[in-house]
């Protein structure tokens, strides 16, 4: 495997049934084999992408004491700012070499969920920051819903199976800053090897290389994608739901060569989470004699809490 497979969402949206079916099979097979694809034809414009990068760079350039104003105790990092080194991968003592921001769901249609989710934190110093972030959030959420529709059909479910779970779901848009490396890291990397918690992750093009995925053969393979593509991978929730049919691939962000230590890296993943009451019980369509049930029953909310505790973001 030299690279991750590429797919075009416009084929799924096409009136041509053969193109739609080919997309379903291609993305489904890719997620069985490696768990990652590069997707073009999505709903996020270049202009919006550029505007968001401009805003997040401006935020991370703010003085440390200003950024710290937006690090809110008691939210388990689910909204606002999380400072450098706070998050560590499951099983790792060292904190990742990153700081980040979280935009969360803003519920439409007045659902009771608006009381369940924390409110987004407004950045006073940057008047366009929140508006730009939420515009990107909506376009990535829309893209995620269509990708999940294709996967529902691949699994053998009704096409709109995921729609109601993801609409007004607990998704997170996370702009990340990996600052320049000053001293030789002691066992720490920009993001240690991990699997994502959620259903699927949509990654806007990072500003520097470093993302690697672990192949079935145990080799680390650099992920490359064109600027207009989103890198989309399966998360642990979807792997669990499909009883390991679709793969949540371990990945990491490695430190750059020493000559590039002086450069920042920016990355913006969108973590597609369902509503907390969604069942992650293994689907009957994914269980048979050759593939017995691998996981205990659990809801998305229960599973998320377990993982936030493991990451050190939520206390028991």
CA distances (Å), origin 156, targets 147, 216, 222, 292, 297: 14, 25, 32, 17, 20
Tell me the percentage of the chain whose pLDDT exceeds 90.
62
> Which pLDDT value is given to residue 282?
97
> Which pLDDT value is given to residue 97?
72
- 191, pLDDT greater than 70: no
Beta strands 251-253 and 220-222 are unpaired
Instruction: Mark out the alpha helices in the chain (DSSP H runs).
Output: 9-12, 17-33, 46-60, 64-68, 129-155, 163-166, 236-241, 300-310
Q: What is the mean pLDDT of residues 145-174?
A: 97
In the structure encoding, which two tokens stand for residue 77, read together?
Answer: 């990092």
Give the residue among 132, 156, 167, 165 at the shortest CA–CA distance from 268: 132
In the structure encoding, which two tokens stand for residue 117, read together?
Answer: 């989710």
Q: What is the mean pLDDT of residues 193-202?
A: 88
Give per-residue pLDDT as tens, 132-155: 999 999 999 999 999 999 999 999
Cβ pair 236, 22 in contact under 8 A: no
> Which pLDDT value is given to residue 227?
77
Domain segments of the chain as ranges: 6-310
Query: Rounded to an integer, what distance in angstroms lies between the CA atom of residue 230 and that of residue 208?
Result: 15
> Which pLDDT value is given to residue 151?
98
Give the residue among 49, 199, 231 at the shortest CA–CA distance from 137: 49
> Which pLDDT value is given to residue 56?
95
> Which pLDDT value is given to residue 213?
80
Q: Answer with the residue of higher pLDDT: 73 or 263.
A: 73
> Which pLDDT value is given to residue 47?
94
Give per-residue pLDDT as tens, 264-286: 888 899 999 999 999 999 999 99
Cβ pair 122, 79 in contact under 8 A: no
Query: Rounded to an integer, what distance in angstroms lies between the CA atom of residue 26 and that of residue 12?
Result: 11
Cβ pair 52, 266 in contact under 8 A: no
Q: What is the mean pLDDT of residues 92-109?
A: 80
- 88, pLDDT greater than 90: no
Q: What is the mean pLDDT of residues 223-252?
A: 89
> Which pLDDT value is given to residue 288?
93
> Which pLDDT value is given to residue 85?
63
Strand order across the 191-194 sheet: 191-194, 251-253, 211-214, 220-222
Q: Answer with the residue of higher pLDDT: 32 or 208.
A: 32
Q: What is the mean pLDDT of residues 192-197?
A: 78
Q: Answer with the residue of higher pLDDT: 5 or 218.
A: 5
Give per-residue pLDDT as tens, 289-316: 999 999 999 999 999 988 888 777 667 6
Q: What is the mean pLDDT of residues 20-45?
A: 94
> Which pLDDT value is given to residue 89?
46
How does the average pLDDT of the chain come out, rounded? 87
> Which pLDDT value is given to residue 233?
92
Tell me the percentage of the chain whose pLDDT exceeds 70.
86
> Which pLDDT value is given to residue 190?
54
> Which pLDDT value is given to residue 223?
80
SS3 category, 10 = helix
CATH number of 6-310, picked from 3.40.50.620, 2.60.40.650, 2.60.120.330, 1.10.275.10: 2.60.120.330
Q: Answer with the residue of higher pLDDT: 212 or 173.
A: 173
């Amino acid at each position: 495997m030299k690279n991750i497979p590429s797919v075009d969402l416009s084929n799924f949206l096409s009136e041509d049934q053969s193109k739609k079916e080919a997309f379903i099979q291609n993305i489904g097979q890719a997620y069985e084999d490696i768990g990652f694809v590069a997707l073009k034809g999505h709903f996020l414009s270049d202009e919006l992408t550029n505007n968001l990068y401009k805003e997040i760079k401006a935020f991370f350039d703010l003085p440390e004491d200003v950024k710290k104003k937006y690090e809110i105790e008691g939210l388990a990092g689910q909204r606002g700012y999380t400072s450098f080194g706070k998050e560590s991968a499951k099983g790792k003592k060292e904190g990742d070499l990153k700081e980040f921001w979280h935009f969360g769901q803003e519920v439409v249609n007045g659902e009771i969920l608006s009381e369940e989710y924390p409110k987004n934190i407004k950045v006073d110093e940057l008047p366009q920051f929140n508006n730009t972030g939420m515009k990107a959030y909506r376009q990535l959420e829309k893209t995620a819903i269509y990708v999940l529709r294709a996967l529902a059909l691949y699994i053998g479910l009704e096409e709109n199976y995921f729609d109601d779970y993801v609409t007004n779901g607990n998704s997170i848009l996370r702009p990340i800053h990996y600052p320049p490396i000053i001293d030789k890291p002691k066992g720490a990397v920009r993001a240690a090897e991990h699997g994502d918690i959620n259903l699927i992750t949509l990654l806007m093009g990072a500003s520097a290389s470093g993302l690697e995925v672990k192949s079935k053969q145990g080799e680390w393979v650099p992920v490359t994608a064109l600027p207009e593509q989103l890198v989309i991978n399966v998360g642990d929730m979807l792997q669990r739901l499909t009883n390991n049919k679709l793969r949540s691939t371990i990945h990491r962000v490695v430190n750059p060569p020493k000559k590039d230590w002086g450069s920042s890296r920016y990355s913006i993943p969108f973590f597609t989470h369902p509503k907390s009451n969604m069942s992650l019980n293994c689907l009957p369509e994914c269980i048979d004699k050759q593939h017995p049930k691998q996981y205990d029953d659990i809801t998305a909310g229960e599973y998320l809490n377990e993982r936030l505790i493991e990451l050190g973001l939520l206390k028991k």
